[in-house]
Structure 1
Amino acid sequence: MRDILITLIVFASLPLILKNPVNGVLMWIWISVMNPHTQGWGFATTFPFAQIIAVVTIFSLVTSRAPKLLPASGITFALLAMVLWMNVTTLFAIFPAASLLQLGKVMKIMLMSLVTMIVIRSRQDVHRMIWVLAISLGFYGVKGGIFTVREGGNFRVWGPTGTFIGGNNEIALALIIAIPLMRYLQQSSDQLWVRRGWTAAMLLSAMAALGSYSRGALLAIAAMMGLMWMKSQKKMLGALLIAVFAPFALLFMPERWTERMDSIGDYQADNSAMGRINAWNMAFNLARDRFFGGGFEIAEPSVFYQYAPNPADVHAAHSIYFQALGEHGFIGLGLYLLVGMLTWRSAAWVVRNSRNDPELVWASNLSKMIQSSLIGFAVGGAFLSLLYFDVPYYLMAAVVALRALTEQRLAQRKTGTLP
């Protein structure tokens, strides 16, 4: 039944996508982020929904009257440079066949991220995209939060199998990214039931993140909540809510959860933590030796034998930063950090330049929340191999649109042509 329902939704959306490529981007985000087909049990789990939506969306974009050029933004230029560099490093990959296969997967994500930047331009488009992202991830937050409360936190929360967010650490970080987006939608609604619904979703998502038993997520959620509090206009109320909810949530979790979190301070005795440090050293040594890095898919015994302090301890990078460094060298890491820095600065620019305009309050609120999501990703991503996780790239697209809309509004104010 689930397989049939998902299939009907996807194919029913195709005429709407042909009518407007924005609908295609929203459907793509829903399929790629929520992965609803993984909730089925039959043919839908392997059916190429994403490919169909991508092809129809690109066809709709090409044939529509909508603008077809990327916005002139430092973010887009830096992202294009990073994409180009990934193709260059693949030419010098240690494992050419595996690297080329992975390149194809990554380029699909990057292509649709760039398409998102092209078509998401209006306030309505941005708002709808945030709704899709929040619902797609909030589904697992509500589900995981209920599971954590029902089971007393004694079992780990996992994401949908076979996806970017399938692991316990990955789903936790995804939910931490989603919570600020839920907060924005809560702020934007005038309907009491919507605001209460997002409040419940945020609380349950936070419990689900704790229930993942992810130590990196604990650090990420602290960073995210800290920035949300700093960006809040009601700091006293925010501090009171954190002071009430945080101790309750932590005390609710069982003793074995507390013991696992306490192991953060004793990482030398933790095999998992030492394995990650070994992988980080390997990536650093490889980048020093190879200007272009190792290319995709370098977590192999032969590579660790040559570059790792402990050749027998083979691990994935478990860090977006060392993943970029090992796979694409120092230039690849620099480009990735540049994309993140430009996104952060553009969001900060929107906040500064929209604070005195009632028509741009929404842009300011959303930019603050995207910054909170990104700081959570920056902290939690230091411990996970999520360099190609698509949600941060969609948030970059939102920031590009927010800056363009704010610049347009400022130009109208300056010339006296406000509607």
Structure 2
Amino acid sequence: MRDIVVTLFVFAGLLYTIKKPYVGILVWSWLGYMNPHRLCYGFAYSMPFSQITALLTMGALLFSKERKVLPKDILVYLLLFFILWMGLTTLFAFEAEAAKEQYIKILKIQLPVFLTMMMFTSKERIHQLLWVIVVSLGYFSTKGGIFTLMTGGAFRVYGPPGSFVEENNALAIASLMVIPLLVYLRTTLTRKWAKQVALFAIISMSFSVIGSQSRGAFLAILVVGTYFWLQSKHKLTTGVMIIVFIGLLSLMLPDSWYERMNSISTYDEDGSAMGRIHAWTLAYNVANQNLLGGGLNLWTKITYTNYLEGFDPLRQTAFVAHSIYLSILGEHGWFGLFLYLLIYAIGWSYCKSLVKQCDGQAHIQWIADLARMMKVGLLAYFAGGAFLSLSYFDLPWHYLAIIVLLKEIAKNSEAPEIIEANKIVEESSTKIIINEQGIVQ
């Protein structure tokens, strides 16, 4: 039954895509974030829905009257350059075949991001994309939050199989990035019941993050919570709410959760933590000795043996970097890390300027509200990603695409009163009357 339902949903979306290519991006995003076919047990499980959607979307776009131009923005150019740089590092990668496979996967992730920047040029379309992202990832996160409450946090929460957010740590960070988007979308709802459902989902997703038992997510929560408190206009009220929330959690969470969080301070006794430190040291050594880094998927025992002193391939495990920063450093070198940080620094600065530019202007207030929440989501990614291998995860790149689009919309929008004034001027300039004395009025 699931197979039939998912297949019908996909092909219904594809029918709309033929007339409206942007719908294909919505279907593509739904398949990428939610992986609904992986929740099936029959023919749909292995169906190439994403490939079919991609081909139809690009074909429909080619023959449509849709806008086919990328925004002329420095962030877009940097994204393109970073992709080319990753291609260059792939050519000289330590693990050539594995790097090539990963690079193709990255290109498949980046393609809908760039198509988004081409087609999602209105408030309505951006909202539709946000809802697809929130519902797709929020489904697992909300379900995980309910599971955490029912089990007292005794078990970990995991994401959809075969996806970027399959492991507990990744789903937790994705949830922290989705929650601010839902906080914004809730302000656009008009029905009381819908607002209540959204609030329930926000609370459930928060418990899901706790239930993941992710140390990286725990640190991200501390950073985001501190940021919220510092940005709040009502610091006393916000502080009390945070304290009450922490108090309720302390009564609910099991000893296993505290033991895992306490392992942050005793990292030298934790095999997983020490494995990460070894991986970070390896990334640093590889970047120092290779201008282009080691290329994608360099994390093998051969690389560890060559670049990490004292590594024993017979007794020790080769860990991946478990850090968005060290992963980029090891795979693409210092220049690659510079590009990566520059891209996100510009994205963050755009959000700040959008809040300043649009706040208080009724016709573009929504941009300020969304940009403010996207800052929170990016902060969660910056903090939690320091301990997770999510450098190529779709959502942060989609964040950047949406930020570029918000900047374009804000730049091209005019206040209604200015539009009306310009219209009056244009109309009056066409009404030239010459009186009896030949004087132009």
The alignment's TM-score, normalised by the length of structure 1, stands at: 0.96
Runs (4+) off by over 3 Å = 228-240, 410-419
Name the CA shift for 1:196/1:226 in 2 (closer, same or farther; >3 Å). farther
Match of 1:397 in 2: 401
Please say if residues 281 and 309 of structure 1, whose CA atoms lie closer than 8 Å, have aligned partners that are also in contact.
Answer: no
Once the two structures are TM-superposed, the CA of residue 248 in structure 1 deviates from its matched residue by 0.9
CA distance, structure 2, for counterparts of residue 38 and residue 164 of structure 1:
13
Q: Equivalent residue of 2:413, what SS? A: helix
Distance in 2 between residues matched to 1:74 and 1:393, nearest whole Å: 15
Distance 1:355 1:270, change over 3 A: same
Using a 3 Å threshold, how does the CA distance of structure 1 residues 20 and 321 change in structure 2: closer, same or farther? Answer: same
Residue number in structure 2 paired with 1:193: 193
Match of 1:346 in 2: 350
2:310 is equivalent to residue 300 of structure 1: no
Aligned to 2:122: 122
In 1, distance between residues paired with 2:113 and 2:412? 23
Query: Counterparts of 1:87-98 in structure 2 under 5 Å?
Result: 87-98=87-98
* CA distances 1:367-414 after superposition (whole Å, capped 9, x unpaired): 011110010011111111111100111111111111111111258877
Distance 2:270 2:83 in 1: 36
Q: Tell me, which stretches of 5 or more residues in structure 2 are unaligned?
A: 425-441
Structure 1 residues 64 and 361, CA, compared in 2 at 3 Å: closer, same or farther? same
Q: CA deviation at 1:227?
A: 2.9
1:4 shift after superposition: 1.1
Q: What does residue 223 of structure 1 align with?
A: 223
Q: What does 1:254-403 align with in structure 2 at a 5 Å threshold?
A: 254-312=254-312, 313=316, 314-403=318-407
Cα distance 1:54–1:230, how it changes in 2: closer, same or farther (>3 A)? farther
1:175 aligns with 2:175: yes
Distance 1:247 1:19 in 2: 53
Residue 29 of structure 1: aligned partner: 29
Contact 1:304 1:310 survives alignment (8 Å): no
Asked if the contact 1:210–1:218 (Cα under 8 Å) also holds between the matched residues in 2, the reply is yes
Once the two structures are aligned, what percentage of the paired residues are identical?
39
Q: Counterpart of 1:190 in structure 2: which amino acid? A: T
Describe the shift of the 1:188–1:237 C-alpha distance in structure 2 as closer, same or farther (beyond 3 A): farther
Structure-2 separation of matches of 1:354 and 1:413: 16
Secondary structure of 1:264's counterpart equals: coil
* SS in structure 2 of the partner of residue 213 of structure 1: coil
Q: Distance in 1 between matches of 2:403 and 2:247?
A: 34
Partner of 1:83: 83
CA contact (8 A) 1:19 1:60 kept: yes
Conservation of the 8 A alpha-carbon contact between 2:363 and 2:416: no
Indicate conservation of the 8 Å contact 1:228/1:368, yes or no. no
Aligned residues between the structures? 419
Deviation at 1:127, TM superposition (A): 1.0
Unmatched tracts of structure 1, length 5 or more: none
- Give distance in 1, aligned partners of 2:48 and 2:166: 19
Deviation at 1:268, TM superposition (A): 1.7
Q: Distance in 2 between matches of 1:412 and 1:342?
A: 30
Match of 1:111 in 2: 111
Moved more, 307-316 or 6-15: 307-316
- 1:280-317 deviations in Å (ceiling 9; x for gaps): 01011001111111111111000000112442341011
Residues in 1 aligned to 2:399 and 2:233: alpha-carbon distance in whole angstroms? 23
Aligned to 2:99: 99
Q: Deviations over 1:99-119 (max 9, x none)?
A: 111111111111111111111
Residue 277 (structure 1) shift = 0.7
Worse overlay, 166-175 or 222-231: 222-231
Question: Relative to structure 2, which stretch is displaced further, 246-255 or 317-326?
Answer: 246-255
Partner of 1:206: 206
Answer whether contact 1:228 1:369 (CA < 8 A) is retained: no
Offset of residue 235 of structure 1: 4.5
Alpha-carbon shift at residue 37 of structure 1 (Å): 1.1
Separation in 1, partners of 2:371, 2:142 = 24
Report the secondary structure of 1:265's partner residue: coil
SS in 1 for 2:267: helix
Partner of 2:136: 136
Q: Is the 8 A contact 2:363 2:415 kept in 1?
A: no
Q: Does 2:238 align with 1:238?
A: yes
Deviations 1:311-347 (Å, cap 9, x if unpaired)?
2341011011111111111111111111101111111
Alpha carbons of 1:103 and 1:186: their partners in 2 closer, same or farther (altered >3 Å)? same
* Matched position secondary structure for 2:263: helix
Q: 1:255 to 1:97 in 2, by over 3 A?
A: same
Task: Compute the RMSD of aligned alpha carbons.
Answer: 1.8
Deviations 1:217-269 (A, max 9, x none): 00112222333444445545433332322321243111111111111112122
- The 2-side partners of 1:69 and 1:295 are apart by 31
- Aligned residue for 1:316, secondary structure, equals coil
